[in-house]
Every structure is written in structure tokens, then in C-alpha cells.
A and B are shown apart, each in its own frame.
Chain A
């Protein structure tokens, strides 16, 4: 199975250097944020500014926790809100987009071509531009100032459907036919054949949705304090007072960022490569 590909040592080193260089370039903002989060207050205002932290301290986090304790809605509520919005939105989007993509990729029915062109067409409209009609629709449905205003529209994003459809088209028809011959219902086929086969695809989609929903601050839709997501509360803290909260806001940056990164690493490493191809021997 495993084949050693002959490659010169020089080539390997060159590739490694390339990855390291580009990677370092990309990691720069992260390293900067981590450094800042552990800087004591006096190092923030050094001139010229220093990139690396000299005397790391956890004071910034301590400050942040003190500020959190002062908020009049318990801070755990913000965290729960964020987890609920992100979790429900991501899960619903992946299931609904995948379910809709399955017939578009693998079935024949009337209106299929039209539907798919609408999907592609709708990719072209940016959310900023449709902000006003969107607000009107949300209000009309009575979703204004509820979790649903953030969660339910996430179900119907067309990008996810488009991605899933493209990946599902890769599954050979014979695989689905053999499942059907063995007596699997459409639901069974969908959940035990199609979904495992496009696992890399829906994990990708989950990552995308997760990071989109996690970054949401509730915007114009959520105005009740007890419904606001974590990001909103944290941003309020950073905007409080400029010099005194420099440390706390650096800590906030690190906390907000670390959650999607962790999710990414977990979901990426749960893809087992050989599994996807085991069923596809023509």
C-alpha cells in the first residue's frame, strides 16, 4: 500500500522551506495576537513597538475575567448563546444543504436544471446589498430579536448546496444502484452511502459555516442583552476604555480566535482518508 516515492533530499528540503515560509507569513497575525495577549501593560506602549513579548503575564486574562464578572447578564449566558447559534446553524445547514444536493446531483426530475441555475445565480448576490429586504423578511416572519434570525437563514445558504452537489456528482452511480438493489431506501442510501462518501466535503462545509456563525455579533437583529452572542459581549469590553483595556482586548482576540481554530483542527484530523475510497471499486 505505502509506496516510497523517490525524491531527492534537496527537493524535499525546498518544499519544506516553501511551506514553512508561506506558513510563517500566514501565521504572523496569530503569533502577534498570542504575544499581545500575554504582554504586560507597560510593554503595550513601548516605542518602537515590540513584536515579541518580554515578560509574559496572565494579567490580561485576569483583567478580562474581572470585566466579565461585572456584566449584568451572566457571562455564561453569552457563551451558551454563541454555542447554540453556531451549533444549530452549522448542523442544520449541513443536513439541509446535503439533502437538497443529493437529488440535484443524482436524480432526474422536472425543474432540476432551472433549480440549479437559480442556485448558481444566487451566489452572485452579496449579503450587504440585500440587507434591507432581508431585514424586512426577518421582521415579517417574527424572527426579529430571536435566535432564529441568525440560525434559520443560515440553513438556506446556497453556497453549501452548490459545494455538496459538486462533490456528490463524483460518487459513481453504480454504487448507489447496488445499494438500491440490496434494498436500501433513499434515506438509507443517503445516510449510509452518500454522506460517508462525501465526508471531506461536509466537514469542509461545517468548518465554513462554523466560522461564519461564530464570527457573528448579532448585528441589527438581536437587541435583547440575554440573547446576544459572545462576540458582541467581548467586543463591548474591548471598546470600553482605550488605554486601560489594551491587555483585555488582546486577550479577547485570542479567545475569539481559538475556538474556530480548534474546531478546524479537530474536524480536519477526523477525516480518515482511505475510508472515502473503500466503496468505490468499479
Chain B
């Protein structure tokens, strides 16, 4: 029996109280470490930031001046911004399909599965700054101070992309489709590298599909193909949405427009402009995300 104290609450009230209690530790940390930062960035985007000789800086309200500057005066912002957004949009289906495919393969039982999975997660581990740094150091030494690796790779993909374009044009495919395929091929390396976490999320999702459903399906005589479309896909569909969100965020954080905002702040010391850039691109990414997720959620299946 539950004892009820002096301040007895209704069942719903008690549930709400417990809910807040579970959330509280996270919420406090979030407000202190993250929300405050975002609000400050917002404030900087509508201010002109002047460095003070004594150290620190002064903020003075300047309205939408920074936004006007990046859209009408800045040499490259609009182009980089649009390209980054389109890049994210193209990457979503590529990464989702690739990672779902790999996850389905890795979800099978076979020898040394743990190690094979680790191999597919390697790019994520390699992406951490310290490791790339150490590898680059030794690479630099091996190559005699020349960073020959990346341009070489670009060149080979460039060649193959050209030949594919010619081939497709001969088939008479419409230009937009050719462009999409070319973009996809040129991005293969990027896609493979950026799919590590998504594969992991899909693996976790696949593990939560009840095996009893498959048993029933197979007793009823379904083929593995049918089982995939009618059991696996509907059950993991909410996590496709999750993966789309992760993909968008991950691609955005490493995109050229964020680099640009970073450079404006820490190379050119124009903090207001940098803040405006990040506010504009964040809002754009959010809209993009809402659109894509709204579209996918129509097909997603929820237990309730």
C-alpha cells in the first residue's frame, strides 16, 4: 500500500511530479550549459560586437544589420549556405539506405561479428580530433611532409564520376537524375564514413524487434522478403525518423556553413556576423528537418 502524505496529490499530479523529478538533473544542466549559450548567440547576432582593449567585448544593439550584411554584402555566404543545405538533403536518403542495409547484414549471426561491427564503426572513432591528429602526424612524416593522400583520392573519384556522367548521358537519362547519381558517387567515401552511428542505431533498433513476430510469420509461410517489409520495416520505422534527425544534425555540424561561421569568429574576429550566420543556418536546418520528418512520420508506425 502506498502511504499518502500531508500534501496528497491526485494520481495525475503525482505522475507529473515524478516526471519533473526524473527530468530535473538533465534540465538544470541543459539550462546552465546549453540554453544560456544559445540565448547569448542569439543576442550576439543582433548586436555589433566590439573588442575592448582591456579584454572582453562590448555588445551594442544593431538590429538586423548582421543579417543584412551576410545576405547582401558577404562574398560567399549565400552560396555556401545553399550548397550546405542541399548537400544535407542529398545525403539523407543515401546515408539512411546505406546504413539500414549494412545494419541488416551485420545483424545476422556470423563469426567475429563484434569485430566486423567495430570495423564499420571505425570512421566514427577515427573522427576524433586527437586520433586524426596523431595519424596525420605520422602520415605527414611518411609522405615526406607532403599531404598527398586527400587530393589523390579526390582525383580518382573525379575521374570515375566523369566517365559515369558520360555513360548516363548516353542512356538519355534526365539531367537532374544524372546529377543526383554523380553527386552520390562523388560522396560515396563521405557517406560510408558518415554512417557509423546510424548503423549502430539501426542495429539497436533491429534488436528490439520481437522474435516471436518472425516465428509467427514464418509458421504462416511468409518469405524473408515479406517479413522484412511487413515486420522489420514498420517496427523500426520510428527509428528511421531518429536516424534522419541524427544524420541532419551530424551533417550540419560538419558542414561548410558552420566552418564559415567558425572562421568569421575566430579568424576574422567578427563575432556578430558569425552569430548571425549560425542563427540563420540553424533555423534553416530546423525547417528542413521538420519538413523531412513530417514527410517520413506519415509512414512511421507507433505501438499506440
Which residues does chain A contribute within 8 Å of B77, judged by CB atoms? none
Taking the nearest CB of chain B, how far is it from the CB of A50, in angstroms?
9
- How many residues belonging to A are interface residues under a CB distance threshold of 8 Å? 110
- Residue in contact with B29 in the complex, picked from A22, A96, A103, A217, CB distance below 8 Å: A96
Which residues does chain B contribute within 8 Å of A69, judged by CB atoms? none
What mask results when residues 1 to 44 of chain A are scored 1 for a CB within 8 Å of chain B, else 0?
10101000000000100110011011101101100100000001
Chain A residues numbered 188-206 whose CB sits less than 8 Å from any CB in chain B = 190, 197-198, 200-201, 203-204
Does B162 make an interface contact (CB < 8 A)?
A: no
Which residues does chain B contribute within 8 Å of A120, judged by CB atoms? 245, 286, 289
Cα A97 to Cα B246 in complex, Å, equals 16
Taking residues whose C-beta sits less than 8 angstroms from the other chain, chain B's interface range is 35 or more
Question: CB distance A3 to B218 under 8 Å?
Answer: yes
Does A222 make an interface contact (CB < 8 A)?
A: no
Which residues does chain B contribute within 8 Å of A136, judged by CB atoms? 40
Q: Total A-B pairs in contact (CB under 8 Å)? A: 285
Question: CB distance B131 to A36 under 8 Å?
Answer: no
Cα A166 to Cα B131 in complex, Å, equals 31
Question: CB distance B138 to A133 under 8 Å?
Answer: no
Known interface pairs A132-B265, A235-B130. Does A126 touch B252 (Cβ–Cβ under 8 Å)?
Answer: yes
Does B96 make an interface contact (CB < 8 A)?
A: no
Question: CB distance B238 to A169 under 8 Å?
Answer: yes
Which residues does chain A contribute within 8 Å of B246, judged by CB atoms? 159, 163
Question: CB distance A153 to B33 under 8 Å?
Answer: yes
Which of A30, A129, A239 has the largest number of chain B CB atoms within 10 A? A129
Question: CB distance B238 to A214 under 8 Å?
Answer: no
The 6 closest A-B pairs by CB, nearest first: A215-B128, A156-B29, A103-B19, A200-B204, A100-B26, A133-B40
11 A–B contacts from the bound complex (CB under 8 Å): A30-B126, A128-B261, A129-B258, A158-B30, A159-B246, A200-B205, A215-B130, A235-B130, A239-B137, A246-B142, A269-B114
- B residues engaging A (CB < 8 A)? 12, 15-16, 18-20, 22-23, 25-30, 32-38, 40-41, 102, 105-106, 113-126, 128-131, 133-135, 137-138, 141-144, 192, 197, 200-201, 203-205, 207-212, 214-215, 218, 224, 235, 238-239, 241-242, 245-246, 249, 252-253, 258, 261-262, 265-266, 271, 274-275, 278, 282, 285-286, 289, 302-304
